[in-house]
Amino acid sequence: MKFWSFGGNADRARRRTDPPDETQPPRSRWWLPGVGVGFITLVGLIAFPYGSPLWEFLFLSSSLVSLVLLFGAALTMPSSVRSIWWLLLAFQAMTFVAIGPFGYHDPTAGGETAFPAPADFLFLAAYIPVFAALGLLIHRLNPGRDREAWIDSSILTVAAASIFGLFLIVPVLDSPGLDGWAIAVGAAYPILDLAVLSGLIWLLVGGGRPQPAMSLLAVSFGFTLTADVIRDVTLVIPGAAVTHGWLDALHVAALMVMAAAATLPSAGSLARPRQRPDSRVTTTRLAILAIGVIAVPSLVVVRLWDSASQPTLLLALAAVAVIILAVMRIQILVTAIDRQRQVTELVLDSAGDGIVGLDRDGFVLFANLSARRMLRCRESDLLGRRFHDIAHHEHPDGTPFPWHDCPVRELISSGSAGLIPDQVYVRRDGTTFPVEMITSPLLVDATVTGAVLSFRDVSERQAVDQLKTQFVSVVSHELRTPLTSIKGSLQMLNSGILGPLNDDQQELMEMAVNNSERLGQLVNDILDLERLDAGRMPLAPADVSAATLAQQAVSSMTGAATAAEVTLVVSSTHDDADLAVHVDPHRLVQVLTNLLGNAIKFSNNGSSVTVTTTRVEGAVHISVTDSGRGIPADQLDSVFDRFGQVESGDSRREGGTGLGLAIAREIVTRSGGRINVESTLGEGSTFTVVLPLAIQATADGEA
């Protein structure tokens, strides 16, 4: 039965590891008793004398039961095409049962029945529905679509034709004892059998993945063909004795197996269309092909054995030997390639991440075990189908995600690699899970042929992150209330309302007030960031003048600047009216205040900090420039990270939290702008907030 299941060891292992196919209906509980009864019937048909009442009873009862099952299944098929296909087979089977009473040519009966007998014509007529059924199925399953299947089935068909021709057809044609009609009918049998066999070969080699019903049908055809060939042989070998008991037992076996096939759940589909050309040559397939390849030269040897000269015969023998050796060599190569493939698949299957190979159009070329497990798919559910349509067709919010919007498509067509976070994949059962994926181009000779997509289920990581955020948020909230009261009490003590303090007490009090303020700022920053992360900080944008925002920030920092002996300068290079930005004014002042705070903190006494608003094309640049210590070039990015500091201890020394710039970047980005920094160590830094001009202002400016 492995004849047309061309998978190798790796495929068997894959079937074991793949999740069960829930689309397959469960096996019927009748199959075991059915096989038992069928087997006993066959034993009876062989054991009882041919034509005895018991034999007749077994023959008729088993045939009739099978016919009833066949017609019943055919008439209750949901689809008309499948129904016609099974009806055709049922008619063919009925013809055979109907011929029984006529009897047919029996070479061992001493010529009692003439050949050809009327039954022969009925028999030949029974081929018509068989061909119609085969034609229908061949049309439906479209075998030989791929070149490999076409070549393989051609090899086997030519080999079968040579054997049939040499042993069954030519002897009938050459038979001196047969007249015109007898020759025609005698040759028609093997010719028609050969045609049926070729049709079967085409179906089995190229017609898709056979389902159980298709496999049983193949067995049924196998029985019928064997019976026919035995009968054909008895025609051409004088005195050959094959009793009809055997032939009929084979025919009844074929009929019963066919009836069983019709009752299987897969009778409707028979075979799944093959998703992609399967160019894997396995040992089994090679062995069958080898028999086909060796058959023809072997026949030449048989043919030449008596008649040819010795050198010719030797040459023919040498040809057979060379072909056998060549096939053995190819077999070794195939085994090596197969092993290599298994190793590659083992490596891919051992990876914890899902790995999927895609062609240029996003169709799956391969999918490793983790990918199949995560998506709860079988390999056959994925191969040859567009991955996006199976697993990635939904946005995280559940809205449809069409392929033409997918970043993977973009990356494949540009041949670049990229990380795509925050996606969801849909499992086969419709449930979803969050993933992070990385695509890298599949390059063959520097040409992009597709992409390798690796993905990871990040639900656990997201759960931990969420837990962490919740924890921080709860702790910060819980800290805020007592902290406010501590701060209030300390400030009261510090102000001297409750009684005068001596110098030492005053100094300690001031330290306590400063630190409680720093702590309060830290809690506020953490809560701000948490709200930004969770999308719970709604921005209320409005058209506001950039210069006004800068002025507000400067005003709120004047006290700090004075204390640090730093001068704040506001400079505007453009008419105020043109510099309107569409932002949440409160949040933008928070950003600018933070930039000013940093500039003051890291400036030397006596220096100045300048705030400039400029228009650069369609954007407004608000820059805060200091001439302080500067930031090293390799840390220009990391100062925007959470708790990112140029020198560890900066925040402690200078009274910051290390979160200000992270919050600033988040707010500016969410306002549609960006923030960047330029700095020279020892000379100073310029932080610039770039915001798009408000639409009204743009229109005015361009008018």
Per CB under 6 A, residues contacting ligand ADP are: 594, 598-599, 602, 626, 628-629, 631, 639, 644-646, 650-651, 656-662, 685
Amino acid occupying residue 27: R
Q: Please state the closest distance from residue 641 (CB atom) to ligand ADP, in A.
A: 8
Q: Which residue number, 274 or 629, has a Cβ lying nearer to ligand ADP?
A: 629
Q: Please state the closest distance from residue 557 (CB atom) to ligand ADP, in A.
A: 13
* CA–centroid distance for 195 within its chain: 40
C-alpha distances in Å from residue 494, one per residue of 87, 438, 520, 564: 102, 58, 17, 21
Q: Please state the closest distance from residue 495 (CB atom) to ligand ADP, in A.
A: 27
Q: Which residue number, 375 or 661, has a Cβ lying nearer to ligand ADP?
A: 661
Asked if 42 and 63 touch (Cβ cutoff 8 Å), the reply is no
Q: Which residue number, 220 or 651, has a Cβ lying nearer to ligand ADP?
A: 651
3-class DSSP assignment, residue 271: strand
Q: Please state the closest distance from residue 587 (CB atom) to ligand ADP, in A.
A: 15
Q: Which residue number, 69 or 677, has a Cβ lying nearer to ligand ADP?
A: 677
Residue 356 CA to residue 370 CA, distance in Å, equals: 10
Partners of 613 in the β-ladder: 572, 622
- Give the tokens for residue 214: 């298709």
3-class DSSP assignment, residue 282: coil
Cα angle 643-645-646, degrees, rounded to a multiple of 5 = 170
Q: Which residue number, 572 or 603, has a Cβ lying nearer to ligand ADP?
A: 603
Q: Please state the closest distance from residue 345 (CB atom) to ligand ADP, in A.
A: 49
Residue 291 CA to residue 294 CA, distance in Å, equals: 5
The structure tokens 């076996």 sit at 253
Residue 215 CA to residue 271 CA, distance in Å, equals: 9
Q: Which residue number, 289 or 631, has a Cβ lying nearer to ligand ADP?
A: 631
Q: Which residue number, 211 or 476, has a Cβ lying nearer to ligand ADP?
A: 476
Q: Please state the closest distance from residue 674 (CB atom) to ligand ADP, in A.
A: 16
Q: Please state the closest distance from residue 20 (CB atom) to ligand ADP, in A.
A: 54
- Long-range contacts of the stretch 69-75 (C-beta < 8 A, 24+): 69/259, 69/260, 69/262, 69/263, 70/255, 70/258, 70/259, 70/262, 73/259, 73/262, 73/263, 73/267, 74/262
Element (H, E) at 582: strand 580-583
Q: Which residue number, 19 or 644, has a Cβ lying nearer to ligand ADP?
A: 644
Q: Please state the closest distance from residue 626 (CB atom) to ligand ADP, in A.
A: 5
What percent of the residues of the chain are helix, what percent strand, and what percent coil, each to the nearest 5? 60, 15, 25
Q: Please state the closest distance from residue 522 (CB atom) to ligand ADP, in A.
A: 9
Q: Which residue is nearest to ligand ADP (CB)?
A: 656
Q: Which residue number, 423 or 651, has a Cβ lying nearer to ligand ADP?
A: 651
Nearest 5°: phi and psi at 622? -110, 115
Q: Which residue number, 215 or 651, has a Cβ lying nearer to ligand ADP?
A: 651
Q: Please state the closest distance from residue 631 (CB atom) to ligand ADP, in A.
A: 5
Residue 592 CA to residue 688 CA, distance in Å, equals: 10
